[in-house]
Structure 1
Amino acid sequence: MKFEEAFEIVDKAVRAEAGRHLNDVELMVLRGSCEGLTYDEMAQKSGYGVNYLKGDAGHKFWKLLSKALGEQVGKRNFQAALERAKGRFSVAGAESVQSAEALGTEKPDQDFYVERPPIEHNCCEEIKRPGALIRIKAPAKMGKTSLIGKILACADQQGYQTVLFNFLQAKEGSLKDLDNFLLWFCTNVGRRLQQDSNPEDYWNDSFSSTFSSNDKCTFYFEEHLLPKIDCPLVLALDNVDRVFEYPEEVRVNFFSLLRSWHEQAKNIEPWKKLRLVLAYSTEVYMPLNLNQSPFNVGLPTELPEFTTEQIKDLSKRRGLDWEEAKITKLMDMVGGHPYLVHKALIYMKNYPNAGLDNKLDKLDEFLQEAPTEAGLYDDVLREHLLILEQDKELAAAMKEVVDATEPVRLDWQKLFKLDSMGLLRLKENDVEPRCKLYRLYFQEHLKDI
């Protein structure tokens, strides 16, 4: 059974049982299951943890679907169960939902990209410079990947070669050993440039005994990749902060390697062809030699939240054309958080009449449910909650923030971790919840710790 058909049946069954549509994670588990993916493969594609997908989100999804269909359903037998349920839950005509966008679950594409001047202009000008290094730092789901897409589109217009590399797609074992990590890195970049050179030649016995891992990686770029390219190469590394979590040998050497390439690219051929874009979610609080770090050079770029005018323009493009009063209501709950705003507007456009209480305005009902398990943000909130539940000190810090009536001061490590999750708003040296949604949800779910 194809995903589109399975989705129609499952979404209608869940609506009948739970009074809501599939959330992001449920949709991803269903799609992955239809494609025959394992939970490990789903985790690599999505960025979610495999334990979260299998032990929490997946378990709850199959339990809900079992209840909705009236029989025991799991990853192995769900297709047969859906075949039996076709007559009861098939969807036709105008009610049919054919895409994830109808649920507000798609990643915003470039047609709905919201510019935050002068960021895009500055980045597109910077990428033209030999030795350019653009650093994009922002919490999760603030639009880093979308901005990278914008920068790469500018590079394409200049006739440059581009490679986008997302470290969330890296296999767990690839990041734990420096030699294997750099070989894996070189192999992937070479393949994406469709070059037939074999980086393993630089990792053979004669090279291994003479040169360091960084040397071998550098030689591969200098002697094979860059000389074969007759134009600049933009290498964009998304979610590079994943490397922060791995052994010191890997992170220190890899980041010093990027810094050395950046320095060489200023005036040495063929390195002048190379331009780097690094995207990450947190401050770099690990010890790095100032002269070997790529995080204190280049063009620093931080992404602000959307303004009222930007959300008004986006609502028009989504076909809503909201007046300012509605935008103010939405921002009172989620602020100008790009992902939360996009998700709300998509849902409101596609389900203008959904809901069980006709006495409430649709937006009011949406906002009333937003910080609850019945709301559209349930999957996002539960993912954050799971992370906090695995770190009691971090959970206690978040509880202190949401329970306080004024901004509070946290120790720097907890502040960095919570900020990278996108849960905080900085007020000079103090912090408060990023938005009302987070305050209400975590006040309820952290009250007993």
Structure 2
Amino acid sequence: MNLKEVLNLADKIVFTKTGQHLDDLQEAVLRGTFERETYKQIAKDFDCSESRAREVGSELWQILSEELGEDVSKSNFRSAMQRWQNSNILNFAQNVSGSFNICGDSKHSSDTPNSHAHNEETANSKQTKTSHQDLSEMPELGVFYDRTPQLETLKTLILEQRCRLIALTGISGIGKTTLAAQLVQQIKDEFEYVIWCNFETSPTLAEFQDKLIQFFSQPEQLDSPATNQKPLPLIKYLQKYSCLVVLDDIHNLFSSGELAGKYKPGYEEYRYLFKNIETLSHQSCFLLIGWEQPREVTQVKNQNPTICTLQLTGLDIEPARELLRNYGLGEIENYSAIIHRYQGNPFWLKSVGNQFQELGECVIELLQDDTILLPEDLQDSLQQTISRLSDWEKEVLSLMAREGDGIKLVKLIENTKIPPSDLVNVLQSLWRRCLIEQQGSCYILPNVLREYMKFRSPTSSRSRGFTDS
């Protein structure tokens, strides 16, 4: 169908449902959708807000879905209209309440005595229609503290630059999963298939591929049950449909006690999956979430537009202050210093906030004295991270914690028995894990991590031991 035919048909459907023809913004949304524009582009062309364009789009998809007996969304609008064109004209006229047909002849519900039964059958078919979004493993959206720049960056990478493989990384507690969940809620209608997969159970590649193929192929099998179609290889579905696949807790694919990104035995084949996603032509996107990422996904900016990494840092001052205010800490004099001390890490700030709510003013006094508090849940989180490190990484972190302010590579070489070439690899691994920072020629250990390493050093009588694996 061409654009004129689509708009004419959509106008008739909207008029039948609402008694009003398409307004200018509704037509702009349909026109932009037909031409595969994003809501952001549509809003820019029409000179309105993106949220307004999304709201109008959502209303249109609801009307079309109700009148035509299938779930219509921005991602499948064109294909849905094409299916309608190929359907029987008489049945089509009945499905849209018997008020018109494609040829424009008037037809009323009184002319079709069985229309009521037919509409009930259509309604029942809608209820059994398989959704193309499986977000059952995505966590519920809680309080979301503003990360507009990061959201816009991810939207641009996915919807405009069409990146195929994106790694969202950052230290534990920084808010990667929360940001990704907010992102998915905002862009899910741009894709024909959306699925969120939690890797906490470390599925093998075969298990993971089978899960995706079953999800992608199920609607086709329901549409044509008699044909008993054999599922296609995974890459074929990624090429045939626009798919958004989110892999949360991807670090569970990698070995403890090794440098960052080394696959556990039996999981090495994931390397070839990620390589195919990067190099083969398709219209889908994989978003990898974790504080450890595959070595194939570099954090260095390069000229490859199909693969990229976004390292998430702490909240800005105002969102972080809003978080502190929820725990009664937002009005203290040095709130910005506290935010800086805890690097704007939402989990760390919440942990201290919980401690304040339980203990009250004494905690405020300690915070104002530049003391770094380490509540038990914060320690547990850091311990989970540290226990995955190699012995060399733990040695370097302990040395950096004793040194206090930044330390240069030359001094690290002088004070460790790690060969220089291996030491460089260790520093690269710690940087990829977002555990150290680099300022000029010095390497810096964040305040909270430095305090934790000093508190849990091997010489401490309260050490939990760094040899955990």
TM-score (normalizing by structure 1): 0.53
Check the 8 A contact 2:167/2:287 in 1, yes or no.
yes
Give the structure 2 partner of residue 444 of structure 1.
455
Separation (CA, whole Å) in 2 of partners of 1:295 and 1:421: 22
Give the structure 2 partner of residue 237 of structure 1.
247
Q: What amino acid maps onto 1:245 in structure 2?
A: K
- Pick the aligned partner of 2:263 from 246, 257, 260: 246
Give the structure 2 partner of residue 364 of structure 1.
365
| Aligned CA distance change for structure 1 residues 109 and 338 (closer, same or farther; 3 Å) | farther
Q: What amino acid maps onto 2:362 in structure 1?
A: D
Give the structure 1 partner of residue 444 of structure 2.
432
**Residue 298 (structure 1) aligned with residue 307 (structure 2):** yes
SS in 2 for 1:163: strand
Separation (CA, whole Å) in 1 of partners of 2:170 and 2:249: 10
**Residue 146 (structure 1) aligned with residue 156 (structure 2):** no
Give the structure 1 partner of residue 151 of structure 2.
120
How much has 1:114 moved relative to structure 2?
A: 2.6
Check the 8 A contact 1:371/1:377 in 2, yes or no.
no
Deviations 1:125-181 (CA, angstroms, capped at 9, x unpaired) = 33224843333232333222222212211222435421122333214xx3xxxxxx2
- Pick the aligned partner of 2:276 from 232, 253, 260: 260
Separation (CA, whole Å) in 2 of partners of 1:412 and 1:297: 28
How much has 1:190 moved relative to structure 2?
A: 3.1
Separation (CA, whole Å) in 2 of partners of 1:188 and 1:304: 32
How much has 1:234 moved relative to structure 2?
A: 0.3
- Pick the aligned partner of 2:234 from 221, 228, 235: 221
Deviations 1:20-70 (CA, angstroms, capped at 9, x unpaired) = xxxxxxxxxxxxxxxxxxxxxxxxxxxxxxxxxxxxxxxxxxxxxxxxxxx
Separation (CA, whole Å) in 1 of partners of 2:336 and 2:428: 29
Give the structure 2 partner of residue 309 of structure 1.
318
1:369-448 correspondence runs (5 A): 371=373, 375-384=376-385, 386-387=387-388, 391-408=390-407, 409=409, 411-435=423-447, 437-446=448-457, 448=459
**Residue 340 (structure 1) aligned with residue 340 (structure 2):** no
SS in 2 for 1:132: coil
Q: How many residues align?
A: 291
Check the 8 A contact 1:141/1:339 in 2, yes or no.
yes
**Residue 195 (structure 1) aligned with residue 218 (structure 2):** yes
Separation (CA, whole Å) in 2 of partners of 1:412 and 1:283: 18
How much has 1:402 moved relative to structure 2?
A: 0.6
How much has 1:328 moved relative to structure 2?
A: 3.2
How much has 1:363 moved relative to structure 2?
A: 2.7
Check the 8 A contact 1:311/1:327 in 2, yes or no.
no
How much has 1:401 moved relative to structure 2?
A: 0.5
SS in 1 for 2:404: coil
Give the structure 2 partner of residue 161 of structure 1.
193
Deviations 1:210-268 (CA, angstroms, capped at 9, x unpaired) = xxxxxx99x512556765x5xx21012234353533269954x5334434334444xxx
How much has 1:419 moved relative to structure 2?
A: 3.8
SS in 2 for 1:361: helix
SS in 2 for 1:187: helix
Question: Greater share of helix residues, 1 or 2?
Answer: 1
Separation (CA, whole Å) in 2 of partners of 1:328 and 1:136: 26
Check the 8 A contact 2:246/2:288 in 1, yes or no.
yes
Separation (CA, whole Å) in 2 of partners of 1:282 and 1:331: 24
Separation (CA, whole Å) in 1 of partners of 2:215 and 2:367: 43
Could you tell me which runs of 5 or more consecutive residues in structure 2 were left unpaired when the two chains were aligned: 1-137, 222-229, 255-260, 413-422, 461-469
- Pick the aligned partner of 2:286 from 276, 280, 283: 276
Deviations 1:75-95 (CA, angstroms, capped at 9, x unpaired) = xxxxxxxxxxxxxxxxxxxxx
How much has 1:336 moved relative to structure 2?
A: 1.6
Give the structure 2 partner of residue 184 of structure 1.
207
**Identity across matched positions, percent:** 12
Separation (CA, whole Å) in 1 of partners of 2:373 and 2:274: 42
SS in 2 for 1:323: coil
How much has 1:400 moved relative to structure 2?
A: 0.9
TM-score (normalizing by structure 2): 0.51
RCO higher in 1 or 2 (8 Å CA, sep ≥ 6)?
1
SS in 1 for 2:172: coil
| Aligned CA distance change for structure 1 residues 163 and 108 (closer, same or farther; 3 Å) | closer
Deviations 1:299-321 (CA, angstroms, capped at 9, x unpaired) = 432212222222113334x3637
Give the structure 2 partner of residue 98 of structure 1.
none
RMSD: 4.2
How much has 1:124 moved relative to structure 2?
A: 1.8
Check the 8 A contact 2:167/2:309 in 1, yes or no.
yes
Separation (CA, whole Å) in 2 of partners of 1:378 and 1:429: 30
Separation (CA, whole Å) in 1 of partners of 2:267 and 2:345: 33
How much has 1:426 moved relative to structure 2?
A: 2.6
Q: Radius of gyration: which is bigger?
A: 2
How much has 1:322 moved relative to structure 2?
A: 1.0
Separation (CA, whole Å) in 2 of partners of 1:287 and 1:186: 20
SS in 1 for 2:247: strand
| Aligned CA distance change for structure 1 residues 296 and 415 (closer, same or farther; 3 Å) | farther
Separation (CA, whole Å) in 2 of partners of 1:108 and 1:364: 36
- Pick the aligned partner of 2:328 from 304, 320, 330: 320
